[in-house]
Chains A and B, each alone.
Chain A
Amino acid sequence: MTRYVVIRLYSMLLTLLGLTLLVFLMLRLIPGTVVEQLIGADAVVSPAMVAELRRFFGLDQPWWLQYSHWLSGLAHGDLGTSWRTGKPVVALILERLPVTIELTSLAVAGALLLGIPAGIVSAARRDHAVDNLTRVGALLGLSVPVFWQGTMLILFFSIYLRWMPPLMWVDFFTDPRRNLTIMVLPAICLGTASAANIARITRACMLDVLRSEYIRTASAKGLTRRLVVLKHALKNALIPIVTVAGLQIGILLGGTVVVEEVFTLPGVGRLVLWSIYQRDYPLTQSTILFIAVMFMTINLAVDVLYGYLDPRIRYSG
C-alpha cells in the first residue's frame, strides 16, 4: 500500500505540473488582459501608459519566462500576489476556504444522511411504492439545475414564507446558529444531486448483495429481515458506496462555483469566478491549482480507504 501511495503521489506531481501549464496557457488565451480591464473600454490612454502597465504586471515578458517565475514561486510555497487586490493569493484563499469547506461538508453530510437510507429502503422494498418513489425522486434530484433550485428555494422562503436567511456571512465559531441559517439552503442545493447519486448506487449495490447466497443462508437461518439487510448486506455494499461518496466531494467542490454565486457566499468557488472575470492571472491560476490539489488528494484518499475497507484489493501500482 505504501508503494502504491508513493507512486500515486509521484504521478500526482506530474499531473500537477501538466495542469500548471494548461491553466497558465488557458488564461493567456482569454481575450483581454488585466491592463484592458483596468483602463476600461472608453478611456483614452497613451500607448506609453499601456506599455508601462504591461511592464508593471510582467506581461511584456515572454510567456515561458512568466511561467517559470510562477513555477519557481510555487516551488518556494509562494502562490503569488493578486493583481486586483494586492493581497497574497494564499491569504485570499485561506480567508474564503472555511466557507467552501463548510458548504461542501454540509452538502456531503446531508447527501449521505439522505442517500444511504433512501437507497437501503428502496432496495429492501424493491418494486414497492417506496422504491418507485425513491427512484423517481433520485432521477429528479439528478435533473434539477443547482442554480434554479437555489432560486426557487429563495423564492419559496423569502416571498411565500416571508423568511430570509441573513445576508452577511458569519463563521460557525462566531455565531453557529446564524451561520447554519445562512448555509442550510446552499448546502441543500449543492447536495441534492449527490444524494440522488448515492441513493442510486446504494440501491444498486444493496440489490446486488441481497441476491448473494450468504444472504439467502442468513435468511434461512431465521434472522430477521432487518438484521439481514442492516448487518449482513449493508456491510458489504458499503465499499462501492464509500467510493462514490468520496468522489462526490470532489464533484461538489466544482459545484460550489455556481452555488456560491447564487447565494453570494464568499467562498473559493466565487473567488475563482471573480478572478477569471477580472483577468487576475496569479489569483486564478493558483486558486485553480489549489482546488485541483484538494480534488486529487480526496481521490487518492478514497482509493487508499478502498484498499483498507476491502482487504481483497491489493494495489500493484
Chain B
Amino acid sequence: MVVVGAVGALAIVVMALGADVLAPHPPDEQNFDLIEARPGAKAVFGTDRFGRDVLSRVIYGARVSLYVAVTSTALAMLVGGAFGLTAGYAGGTWDNAINRVMDVFFSIPGLLLAVGIAAMRGPGVNSAVVAITILYTPLFARVMRGPVLAEREKEYIEAIRALGATRLVVALKHLLPNVLSPFVVQGTVAFSQAILIEASLSYLGLSAQPPTPSWGNMLNEGRTYLETAPWISVFPGVAIMVAVLAFNLIGDGLRDALDPNA
C-alpha cells in the first residue's frame, strides 16, 4: 500500500515540477477549433469552453495544490511545533497562555475557520497558505505538547539539566528528537488534508484565481457545463482524489512504522 502511495505521490510531484515539459499545451492556450471537445486523440482529457486543454490544466493545477500543501504544512509544523515545545517544556504561565489561545482556534470547525481566514485576506493562493497554516498551527502545537510533557519528566532530561545544559539546548537537542515521531506522522496526514482544504477553498473562489489553473477552480468552472462537457469537472476531481489518496497511504505507512501504538 505504501509503495502504491509513494508511486502516486511521486507522479504528482513530477507532474507539478515538470509541468512545462509534460503538459501538451500551455494551460491558458485557447484553441477555438476545439471548444468543449470530448476526450479523444486531439485532447486526451477534452477541452473546456475556451478550448483550453483539460489535461494540461490538470498537470499545471498540481503546482498550486502542492505549493499550498507543502508551504502551509511546513509553516504550521514550524510554528505549531515551537508553540507546543514551549508550552510543554516551559509549562506554567506559558503553557496556560498558549493553551487558551489554541482553544479559541479549536472552537470553530476547521473548514469554516479556513474559509473565514481566506476571505479575510481576499482571494489568492497565499490566502490559502495563511488559512491552512493558521488552521493547522494549534493542531501541531497540541501534538507536540503532549509527548513533551511526558518526556520532560524523564530522568535523562534531569541528568542533562544537572550537567548544566541550558533550557534551549535541552529542548532542541535532547527533547525534540525524542518526540518527533507522532509529529511527523501527523504532518503527513495533515499534508493530504491540506490538499483537500486548498481544493475546497479554490472551489469556493478563495484560493487560486482564474485563469491560473487549480484543481478546485477548474471544478467550479466546470459545474456550469456539467451537462454538455462533464469531463471539465471529472478529471480535476480524479486528480485531487489520487493526490490525497497517495499521501494518505504514505501517512498510514509512516504511522505503522514510526508510531505503532497510534
Q: How far is the CB of A221 from chain B (nearest CB, A)?
A: 30
Partner of B109, one of A146, A253, A277: A253
Q: Max chain B CB contacts within 10 Å: which of A16, A27, A251, A273?
A: A273
Contacts of A92 in B (CB 8 A): none
Q: Is B54 an interface residue (CB 8 A)?
A: no
Contacts of B199 in A (CB 8 A): 145, 147-148
Q: Is B214 an interface residue (CB 8 A)?
A: no
Contacts of A152 in B (CB 8 A): 233-234, 237
Q: Is A230 an interface residue (CB 8 A)?
A: no
Q: How far is the CB of B258 from chain A (nearest CB, A)?
A: 16
Q: Is B230 an interface residue (CB 8 A)?
A: yes
A145 and B240 form a contact (CB under 8 A): yes
A11 and B196 form a contact (CB under 8 A): no
Contacts of A146 in B (CB 8 A): 200
B237 and A139 form a contact (CB under 8 A): no
Contacts of B204 in A (CB 8 A): 257-258, 261, 273
Interchain CA distance A291-B245 in the complex, whole Å: 30
The residues in B between 197 and 234 inclusive whose CB is less than 8 angstroms from any CB of A are: 199-200, 203-204, 216, 219, 222-223, 226-227, 230, 233-234
Q: How far is the CB of A46 from chain B (nearest CB, A)?
A: 26
B233 and A15 form a contact (CB under 8 A): no
Contacts of A291 in B (CB 8 A): 108-109, 112
A292 and B107 form a contact (CB under 8 A): yes
- The number of A-B residue pairs with CB atoms under 8 Å apart is 128
Contacts of B233 in A (CB 8 A): 148, 151-152, 155
A257 and B120 form a contact (CB under 8 A): no
Partner of B108, one of A11, A30, A143, A288: A288
Q: Known: A18-B100, A145-B240. Contact between A258 and B226, CB under 8 A?
A: no
B119 and A15 form a contact (CB under 8 A): no
Q: How far is the CB of B9 from chain A (nearest CB, A)?
A: 12
Contacts of B241 in A (CB 8 A): 140, 143-145, 148
Q: Known: A145-B196, A147-B219. Contact between A11 and B103, CB under 8 A?
A: yes
B237 and A26 form a contact (CB under 8 A): no
Partner of A19, one of B104, B117, B196, B252: B104
Interchain CA distance A290-B234 in the complex, whole Å: 36
Question: Interface size of A by Cβ–Cβ distance < 8 Å?
Answer: 47
Contacts of B119 in A (CB 8 A): 30, 276-277
Contacts of A29 in B (CB 8 A): 120-121
A257 and B115 form a contact (CB under 8 A): yes
Q: Known: A145-B237, A146-B200, A151-B233. Contact between A139 and B116, CB under 8 A?
A: no
Contacts of A1 in B (CB 8 A): none
Partner of B107, one of A15, A140, A258, A269: A15
Q: Is B249 an interface residue (CB 8 A)?
A: yes
Q: Is A165 an interface residue (CB 8 A)?
A: no
B108 and A257 form a contact (CB under 8 A): no
B109 and A26 form a contact (CB under 8 A): no
Interchain CA distance A144-B204 in the complex, whole Å: 17
Interchain CA distance A144-B244 in the complex, whole Å: 8
B100 and A15 form a contact (CB under 8 A): yes
Interchain CA distance A27-B120 in the complex, whole Å: 6
Interchain CA distance A136-B78 in the complex, whole Å: 32
Residue of B nearest to A132 (CB): B1
Q: Is B86 an interface residue (CB 8 A)?
A: no
The residues in A between 5 and 29 inclusive whose CB is less than 8 angstroms from any CB of B are: 11, 14-16, 18-19, 22-23, 26-27, 29
A residues sitting closer than 8 Å to B (CB atoms) are 11, 14-16, 18-19, 22-23, 26-27, 29-31, 139-140, 142-148, 151-152, 154-155, 158-159, 250-251, 253-255, 257-258, 261, 269, 272-273, 276-277, 284, 288, 291-292, 295-296
26 A/B residue pairs, CB under 8 Å, sorted by A: A15-B107, A16-B107, A18-B100, A18-B103, A139-B252, A140-B241, A142-B248, A143-B245, A144-B241, A145-B200, A145-B203, A145-B237, A145-B240, A146-B200, A155-B233, A159-B230, A251-B109, A253-B112, A254-B108, A254-B112, A257-B204, A258-B200, A269-B112, A288-B112, A295-B107, A295-B108
